[in-house]
Chain A
Amino acid sequence: MAESMHDTMVDREIDRRKMQVSEEVAIQITGMNKWFGMFHVLRDIDLTVHKGERIVICGPSGSGKSTLIRCINRLEEHQTGQIVVEGTELTSDLKNIDKIRSEVGMCFQHFNLFPHLTILENCTLAPIWVRKIPKREAEETAMHFLEKVKIPEQAEKYPGQLSGGQQQRVAIARSLCMRPRIMLFDEPTSALDPEMIKEVLDTMIELAEEGMTMLCVTHEMGFARQVANRVIFMDDGQIVEQNEPEEFFRNPKSDRTKLFLSQILGH
Chain B
Amino acid sequence: MSDASFVRSEMLSEQDPPPTSVGVIGWLRANLFSNWWNSILTVLCLAAIWYVLSGLLGWTLLSVWNAGSLNECREIMIASWGSTHGHACWGVINDRWLQLLFGFYPPELYYRPILAMLLLFAALAPVLFADKVSPRLLYVTAAYPFLMPWLMWGGSIWTPVGVAAGFVLAYLVGRKLGGTVPGLVLGIVSAIVWWMLWLGLPVQSEVFGSGVGEILVVGLGESLASISPDAAPFWLETVESRKFGGFMLSVLIGVVAIGCSLPLGILLALGRQSNMLIVKAICVGFIEFIRGVPLITLLFVASTLLNIFLPPGTNFDIILRVMIMVTLFAAAYMAEVIRGGLAGLPTGQYEGADSLGLNYWQAQRLIIMPQALKISIPGIVSTFIGIFKDTTLVSIIALLDPLGLSNSIRADTDWNGVYWELFAFIALMFFIACFGMSRYSMYLERKLKTEND
Contacts and interface: CB of A to CB of B under 8 A. Distances in A.
A110 interface: yes
Contacts of A75: 351, 354-355
Given A125-B366, A129-B366, A101 B354 contact: yes
Given A129-B366, A161-B453, A112 B348 contact: yes
A145 interface: no
A112 B352 CA distance: 5
Given A116-B370, A160-B453, A126 B358 contact: yes
A101 B351 contact: no
B336 to A, nearest CB: 23
Nearest to A128: B366
A98 interface: yes
Contacts of B452: 115-116, 158, 160
A64 B374 CA distance: 35
Contacts of B370: 116
Contacts of A212: none
Contacts of B451: 116, 158
Contacts of B184: none
A116 B374 contact: yes
Given A115-B452, A158-B453, A161-B453, A129 B362 contact: yes
Contacts of A174: 356
Interface string A81-117: 0000000000000100011011111101011111110
B355 A106 contact: yes
A174 B351 CA distance: 14
A130 B358 contact: yes
B355 A115 contact: no
A175 B355 CA distance: 9
A73 interface: yes
Interface string B343-378: 000101101111111110010001100110010000
Contacts of A178: 356-357
A66 B28 CA distance: 58
A104 B453 CA distance: 30
B375 to A, nearest CB: 11
A125 B356 contact: yes
A126 B374 contact: no
Interface residues of B, number: 22
Nearest to B359: A98
Interface string A127-155: 00110000000000000000000000000
Contacts of B359: 94, 98
A126 B357 contact: yes
A102 B354 CA distance: 9
Given A126-B357, A130-B358, A115 B371 contact: yes
Contacts of B367: 114, 125
A130 B448 CA distance: 26
Contacts of A103: 357
Interface in B362-403: 362, 366-367, 370-371, 374
B18 to A, nearest CB: 35
Contacts of B351: 75, 108, 112
A78 to B, nearest CB: 16
Contact of A113 (B352, B357, B366, B374): B352
Interface in A43-79: 73, 75
Nearest to A113: B352
Most buried by A among B348, B352, B453: B352
Given A112-B348, A112-B351, A116-B371, A102 B453 contact: no
B377 to A, nearest CB: 13
Contacts of A106: 355
Interface string A197-220: 000000000000000000000000
Most buried by A among B346, B355, B367, B451: B355
Nearest to B352: A112
Nearest to A73: B355
Contact of B352 (A102, A108, A116, A129): A108
Given A101-B357, A126-B356, A161-B453, A108 B348 contact: yes
A104 B348 CA distance: 17
B453 A101 contact: no
A101 B366 contact: no
A101 B357 CA distance: 5
Contact of B355 (A99, A101, A125): A101
A109 to B, nearest CB: 9
Nearest to A107: B355
A75 B347 CA distance: 11
A98 B357 contact: yes
Given A125-B366, A161-B453, A102 B356 contact: yes
B358 A129 contact: yes
A116 B375 CA distance: 11
B347 to A, nearest CB: 9
Contacts of B349: 112, 114
Nearest to A127: B356
Contacts of B371: 114-116
Contacts of A116: 370-371, 374, 448, 451-452
A83 to B, nearest CB: 16
Contacts of B366: 125, 129
B182 to A, nearest CB: 15
Contacts of A104: 355
A161 B351 CA distance: 22
A106 B348 CA distance: 12
14 contacts: A75-B354, A98-B358, A102-B356, A102-B357, A104-B355, A108-B348, A110-B346, A112-B348, A112-B355, A114-B349, A114-B353, A125-B366, A158-B451, A178-B357
Interface of B: 346, 348-349, 351-359, 362, 366-367, 370-371, 374, 448, 451-453
Given A116-B451, A160-B453, 20 more contacts: A75-B354, A98-B358, A99-B357, A101-B355, A104-B355, A105-B355, A108-B355, A110-B348, A114-B352, A115-B371, A116-B371, A116-B448, A116-B452, A126-B356, A130-B358, A130-B362, A158-B451, A175-B355, A178-B356, A178-B357
Interface of A: 73, 75, 94, 98-99, 101-106, 108, 110-116, 125-126, 129-130, 158, 160-161, 174-175, 178
Sorted nearest first, the 6 A-B pairs with minimum C-beta distance are A102-B357, A112-B352, A126-B356, A112-B348, A101-B357, A106-B355
